Each structure stands twice: as C-alpha cells, then as structure tokens.
Structure 1
C-alpha cells in the first residue's frame, strides 16, 4: 500500500500525486501516440470517436457530476456546435476560427438554457432541458436555408496550416490534442475556487449560499462551460462523420450522453473517459454477441436498447459509483489485501442535511 506524506499545499493540489501517476499516464500517452501504427483504420476511427465523446462527457460531467445539474437535452449543444462548424467551414472560414466560434456559440446557448436553472432543479430542470433539446432539433430541421433541413449537410474536410487533416491519423492527433487540453483545463478548473464552488452547490445549495457563493453566477457558468465543451465535441463529430442531419441530435443521443457519465462514474474526470469507452464499445460487443444468441433474440430490433437498460439498472442498483467506482474498490482491495473490509465503501446515512431546514 502506498502512503503519501504531504508537507505543503502545493503538493496537495499537484495533478500527479506520486511517481506511479507519472508512469502510468506517461505509458498511456505513449500508447495513444502510437495508436495509428498499432491499430487498423476501423479501430482508429472508433478510438477517435472515444476521444470526441470524452470531450462532450467532460462537459456533462462538469455540469452533472460536479455541479449537480442534470441535462436531458445535452445533444442540443452537440448539434449547435456541429452545425456551426459545418456552415462556417463550408463557407470557407479557417478551421481553427470555426472551431472556436462553434464552442463560443454553444456556450452562449448554454447561458440561455442555464437561466431556468436559477429557479428550478431536479426533475423540473430535466424537463426544461428536454424541451430545449426538442426546440433545437426542430430549428435544425426547419431552418433549411442554413441547415438544409432533413436532407442533411455535408461537411468539408478540415485543414490546419494549409495541410488537410481528412478523417484518418491526422484528424486523430487533432482530437487527441484537444482532448488532452480539455482534460487539463477541467482538472485545473476543479482545483480553483470556481471548481470548489461548483462542488459546494452540488452538495448543498443552502450551505453554499450561506458561504457567499452566488448561485446564479456559478450555475450559469457551469452550463456555459459544459455547453462549450459539447459544442467543441460536436464540431469534431461533424468532421468525423462528414455528413450531419437533425435526427442525429435527438433525445436518444441526449440519453446516451447521460448514460455515459452515469455508467462511467459521476463526480470523476476518469468517469467521462470510461463512459465514452463503454458507449463506443458496447454496440461492437452486442454485434459480436448476436452470433452466439438464438435467432429470435439476436435479430430482435430492440436488443441494443434492452441491453443498455439492463446495464444501467444494474449499475444504479449494485454500483452507483460507476465503472470508476468499481476500479477504486478493486485497487483498494489489491492495496489492502488481506486486510480489506467488505463494508469499507458502504454509504453511510446522514441526518444533518441542511436541505431539510426550510
């Protein structure tokens, strides 16, 4: 078992807590850099989708996992970023500028959506964001002069510094660089007073307000940052698909995104990546498993939705901390063996919730 003796504050907020972190994350970085030479084109494309969904997952994790505000219409921000990128690039705008504007416009839309969060929360906030998702999908379908409506819109290939990136190894390295930058930005944000304010709002709005935290400001900021990352991911998503249509950003996409962060592990940056891996790999696993199932089951049209539902219910009932929570338990078991106690991670009941005092 590793014991870390901290002697100053800088050591406490350091991203890499010990040498093991540097070794394993360095190994992961080398593996990701070598991926175009290690994997076939198909699997490299799947890894690119994992990186894109991880960017979106980081934004939704910031909103739901660290601020406690759930959005059931997050695919709308994905669509705003995708269509903004597609329209601007097709008009001849430089790729970096179009990418920046896609994130900024999505953030502006996130501020507008975040305004209802100042008055509602819980299921009512979910209904508000769900309604916004339907509105955006309808706007994308009806604004045919810009979005081409339901016929869809082709997206020009991106180019950086005069070099076309296409959708292969060059585009993969671009997504990898943006994912690393977004991850470092989120990690540093969570160490700042703003990130601590987000966590305080998640734990108890009344306690946070009593400490001088402005709820309106930080809730709106959380929505804006989450929407900006979703728009950034949507812009990359549009280039990867090369063709987008409004039905790609519907309620099912929003549910997939929410499923991603819940199964990955709410309240952890690692959970966004684990959830993205699950979201991309699960359809591949189901497709491979169909050959081993009876024809009546394997060819059923709702098999994937049923598997997703069963997996989500299983995680909610038996592993609320998600995949990252399960990894923490396995790691702790290996570190403490043979002194691991079964009830070490059992959630304790609390009777001091300030939310009850109203």
Structure 2
C-alpha cells in the first residue's frame, strides 16, 4: 500500500501524485511515440481512431461524467466539426486554423443546445439532445451547396502551413499531439474552480446553487466545452476517413459515444481512453473470432449489435463503474492483499459521488 506524505501545497495540484505515475506514464509516452515502428500500419490506423474517439470521449465525459448532464446527440457536434474542417480545408485554410474554427463553431452550437439544460434534466434532456441530433443530420443532408448533401464531401489531407500530412505515421503523430493537449486541458480544467463547480452540480444542484454556483452559466459552459472537444475530434475524423456524409453522424454514432463513456467508467479521464479502446477493438475481436463460431452465429446479421448490447447490460448490472472502476478494484485488491474485504467498495455508496473514483 502506497502512503503519500505531502510536504507542500504544490503537491495538491501536481498532475503526477508520486514517482510511480511519472514512471508509468513516461513508459506509455515512449510506447506511443515508438508505435509506428513497432506495429503494422493497419493497427496504427486503429490506434489513430482510438486517439480520435478518446478526444470525443473526453468531451462527453466532461458533460456526463463530471457535470451530470445527459446527451444522446453528441454525434451532431462531431458532424459539425467534421464538416467545418472539411469545408475550410478544401478552400485552402491551414489545418491549425481550420481545427480552431471547427472547435469554436461546435462550441457555439453546443452553447445553443445547452439552453434546454437550464429547464430540463435526466431523460428529458436526453430527448432534447436527440432531437437536436436529428435536426443537424437533416441540415447536413439538405445544405448541398456547402456539405454536398447525401453525396458526401471529400476532405483533403491536413496542411500545416505548406507541409502536407499525407502519411499514416504523420497523421498518427498529429492526432497524438492533439489528444495529449486535450487531455492536459481537461485535467487542468478539473483542478480549477470551474471543474470543481461542474462536479458540485453533478453531485447536487441545490447544494451547488447554495454555494453561489451559477447553474445556467456552468451548464452552458459544460455543453460548449464538450461540443468543442467533439468538434475537434470530428475534424480529425474527417481527415482520417477522407470522406464524410450525413449518415455517419446519426443516432447510432451518438449511442456508440454514450457506450464509450459508460463502459469506460463515468467520472474518470481514464475511462474515456479505456472506452475508446473498447469501442475500436471490439469489432476487430468479433471479426477475428466469428470464423471459429458456428455458422448460424458467426454469419448471423447483427452479431456486433447483439454483442454490444450484452456487454453493456453486463457492465450496467455487474460493474456500473466501468472498466476503470474494475481496474480500481483490482489495484486496491493487490495493494491490500491479503487484507482486502469483499464489501470495501460497496460502503463507498454512502459518500459523495466525487469521492468514489479518487
């Protein structure tokens, strides 16, 4: 069991709590940098998708996991960012400028969508965001002069002020830099008064308001920041697949993103990455194992949807804290062995939600 003895106030705000964090995250950074020379190009492409979905997952985690607001229309922000990036890139705007515009426009749209959050919550807020998703999908399909309609839109390679990123390795490193920057931004935001206000709203709106937190302002800000990250992820997604169409940003994509944060672990930054890994690798695992299954099962249509549903039901029933919650239990078991008690995590239900995932 590791005991931390703090000797200064700076340790309360350090990103790395102890030397073990520095070592393991340093090793992870080395592996990520060396990945293009260690794995095949196909798996490098899958890692790129993991980074893209992790960025989008961070935004939804901020909204659902840390602010407690329910959204089933996150794919709409993904589409806004993708089409903004595609349109501006195709007219010659440099990649960093187009990426910033994609994030800003998505944030503006998110702030507008966040207005219903001031009056409704729970399933009613989910219905409102779902309706917005349908509206955005229809606009993308009908605004043919800009989006190309149902015929789709081709997206050029990123242009970094004259330098074309037209290789898989180059684009992987570009996504890695954006993902690391987004993660550091979210971590610092959560340590700030704004992030603590988000968590207070999630735990109890009445208590947060009694402490002077402006609910309307922070809810709208949470929607805007979540949409901005989704827009940035959508911009990278558009470059990765090189062709976008409205049907790629429908309700099924929103459900996948919601699945990402629920299975990854609501209320944890790690959960966004674990959920992204799950979302990208599960279809690959299914495709690799279906040949070994009986033909009636392996060749059946809708096998992937059935597996998704079974996995989601399993997590909701047996591991509500997701993959990161399971890792916390395994880590605690190893640290306390042989003194680990069966009901250790069950007793934490009596504490505030913000204390559960420390």
TM-score class normalised by the smaller sequence: over 0.9
8 Å Cα contact 1:167-1:239 kept in structure 2: no
Q: Deviations over 1:68-120 (max 9, x none)?
A: 00110100000000000001111111111111000000000000000000000
| Structure 1 pair 47–206 and aligned structure 2 pair: CA distance change class (3 A) | same
With the length of structure 2 as denominator, give the TM-score of the two structures: 0.97
Task: Name the residue aligned to 2:272.
Answer: 272
Q: Deviation of residue 9 (structure 1)?
A: 2.4
Task: Name the residue aligned to 2:203.
Answer: 203
Q: Deviation of residue 13 (structure 1)?
A: 1.8
Separation (CA, whole Å) in 2 of partners of 1:123 and 1:107: 23
Separation (CA, whole Å) in 2 of partners of 1:166 and 1:66: 37
Residues 159-178 of structure 1 aligned to structure 2 (within 5 Å): 159-178=159-178
Task: Name the residue aligned to 1:260.
Answer: 260
Higher mean C-alpha deviation, range 88-97 or range 322-331 = 88-97
Task: Name the residue aligned to 2:144.
Answer: 144
Q: Deviations over 1:182-216 (max 9, x none)?
A: 00000000000000000000000000000000000
Separation (CA, whole Å) in 2 of partners of 1:314 and 1:297: 20
Q: How many residues align?
A: 353
Q: Unaligned 5+ residue runs, structure 2?
A: 354-358
What SS does the corresponding residue of 2:114 show, helix, strand or coil? helix
Q: Deviation of residue 8 (structure 1)?
A: 2.8
Task: Name the residue aligned to 2:336.
Answer: 336
With the length of structure 1 as denominator, give the TM-score of the two structures: 0.97
Separation (CA, whole Å) in 2 of partners of 1:284 and 1:150: 28
8 Å Cα contact 2:203-2:352 kept in structure 1: no
8 Å Cα contact 2:95-2:159 kept in structure 1: yes
Q: Deviation of residue 12 (structure 1)?
A: 1.6
| Structure 1 pair 347–144 and aligned structure 2 pair: CA distance change class (3 A) | farther
Q: Unaligned 5+ residue runs, structure 1?
A: 354-358
8 Å Cα contact 2:114-2:219 kept in structure 1: yes
Task: Name the residue aligned to 2:308.
Answer: 308
Separation (CA, whole Å) in 1 of partners of 2:166 and 2:253: 25
Task: Name the residue aligned to 2:81.
Answer: 81
8 Å Cα contact 2:68-2:202 kept in structure 1: yes
Q: Deviation of residue 351 (structure 1)?
A: 11
8 Å Cα contact 1:167-1:240 kept in structure 2: no
| Structure 1 pair 168–141 and aligned structure 2 pair: CA distance change class (3 A) | same
Runs of 4+ aligned structure 1 residues displaced above 4 Å come to 347-353
Separation (CA, whole Å) in 1 of partners of 2:79 and 2:194: 27
Task: Name the residue aligned to 1:356.
Answer: none
